[in-house]
Amino acid sequence: MTRSVQALAYARPSSLTSSQVGPSLGLETAGGLTPRGAEAHPRFFAGFLTDPRIAARGLLAVADVAAARYYQRPSPASLDPVVTGNGDRLRFESFSGCCGVYARLDVLQEGLDGRETGHGTTNVDVNAPLREALSRITADDPLHLRVGPEELAVTTLEGPVVEKKVPLPDRWLRGFAEAQVASAGFDLRAELTAAQAVAFLRSLPRSSPSGRAARGARWVVASGGSLRPTTRPVPGAVCLPGPERLVALQRVLRDATALRVYGPVADGAAAASAWEVVLPGMRLTLTLSPDSARGFSGEGGVLEALATNDAAADAELVSVLLAWEPRIEPAELAERAGLSVARVRAALTRLGTAGRVGYDLADAAYFHRELPYDADRAERHNPRLVAARGLVGEGAVTLDGALATVASGDRRYQVRESGSEVSCTCQWWADYRGRRGPCKHALAVRMVRRGATVAGGVR
């Protein structure tokens, strides 16, 4: 697994302190992007939370996921949550260390009581003492929230910089993009009342008998105002693999007003799903990969968009039109860009790979953010994409109508296309039948057919 080290430099640790108006939560920011460009310590909000206790538990849930590995042994370090200001809300996001769970807390406009929320994206420091302090908030006394430094005018801050250095695997970055692509294909499958949500979530196991996440797909289906388990993916069923991965939702159950469950059309195969707890002025969403031992990074949903020259050019055009909107409508963006809706969706997928857009299930719309990472890394180190470009660069693809032959090592593979359908004679295709995106051979064939420019295996 390719890794680098992400250095997060904070002016001081985040903390919960007392003030004349009551408790004050100061979340310190690291380097990030705003409409004004890159800033060392951007400031997004200063005001009050309308439901402090709920917000504290929601933020802890996002931090829980960032610090967790639901498969394999625990990691000694985790990446701090990412916060995005979208003008009318704050979004806190994280990914589990195993890349199988994506968490997001949306603090909506009605959950904030302060000046206008700023725009931009950065990491926020959530340290152990702060977590302990947040867990002690038991009443809804006024809680002041500050995201960013105390004074916007300050350009240099006194005292030593607090720096965290954490391992940042490339698969985590790919996971953000893949989770967005998967979510865009979900529909609402069930909505439970608060009481039904509490009863269902509390009935789920917190861990398997071995202490590790359970393997294999489980299914649930809406029935009688609740969810019941089913042994097979009947119409309307939602996949729930590794149900213990929903444990972070337990922090906010007492304040839940509803539980919404999202998923794709059940086709018999294990699939990702999303579980959204509706809270007063907030939403907490966990998106689960199709298997507890299967991270989002290998799903392959972004490969088609990455393999075309059109998507690259379209993404560059579309990115200019983004303005930190909390809701991005592809049809409206297509009209502004002079492109088809399909091409705009492909461009948004490509931008998602760079961490520049996410997807909000409740709004059924994309949103603009700028993850503070090297935008090209996830694309550069995607194994199947790199391998496909290598095959194209070596001239390994031979076209013959709807059939193509791909030479890979000592073997020859047959790739057949029929409209949007594609098949290959390789083992990857035999194992997954396209459920985890195209194999490297099919991807190489599509790159050649679409005239992708590849030199020496690198576009």
**How far, in Å, CA of 235 to CA of 308, rounded?**
35
CB 166 within 8 A of CB 6: yes
Over the chain, what is the mean pLDDT? 83
**CA dihedral (287, 292, 295, 296) positive or negative:** negative
| 213-259 per-position pLDDT tens digit | 455 568 999 988 789 888 888 888 999 988 999 999 999 999 999 99
Q: Would you list the DSSP string of 44-58?
A: -EEEEESSHHHHHHH
CA-closest candidate to residue 282, choices 121, 85, 110:
110
Residues 6+ apart with CB under 8 A from 411: none
Q: Would you list the DSSP string of 265-306?
A: ---SS---EEEEEEETTEEEEEEE-SBTTB-GGGS-TTHHHH
Q: What is the pLDDT of residue 434?
A: 73
Successive 10-residue mean pLDDT values, the chain, 459 residues: 68 84 86 87 90 94 89 63 93 90 95 86 90 85 85 42 69 79 91 93 68 64 87 88 91 94 86 95 95 74 67 84 90 92 86 86 93 63 82 91 90 86 88 81 87 45
CA-closest candidate to residue 362, choices 301, 289, 284, 290:
284
Q: Would you list the DSSP string of 80-127?
A: PPEEEEESS-EEEEEE-TTS-EEEEEEE-GGGEEESPP-EEEEEE---
Q: What is the pLDDT of residue 406?
A: 94
Percent pLDDT > 70 in the chain is 83
CB 273 within 8 A of CB 168: no
**How far, in Å, CA of 245 to CA of 229, rounded?**
17
Q: What is the DSSP letter of 185?
A: T
Phi, psi of 398 (to 5 degrees): -120, 125
Q: Which amino acid is at 429?
A: W
Question: Which pTM value belongs to this model?
Answer: 0.84
Answer left, alpha or beta for residue 10, where phi above 0 means left and psi between -120 and 50 means alpha.
beta
What is the SS3 assignment for 222?
A: strand
CA dihedral 249, 261, 272, 109 (to 10 degrees): -70
264: exposed, middle or buried (Cβ count in 10 Å: 0-12, 13-18, 19+): middle
* Domains of the chain from N-terminus onward: 3-167 (3.10.150), 382-449 (no CATH)
Q: To which H or E segment does residue 62 belong? A: helix 52-66
Return the beta strands (E) in 209-272 as ranges: 219-223, 226-230, 238-239, 258-263
Q: Which amino acid is at 322?
A: L
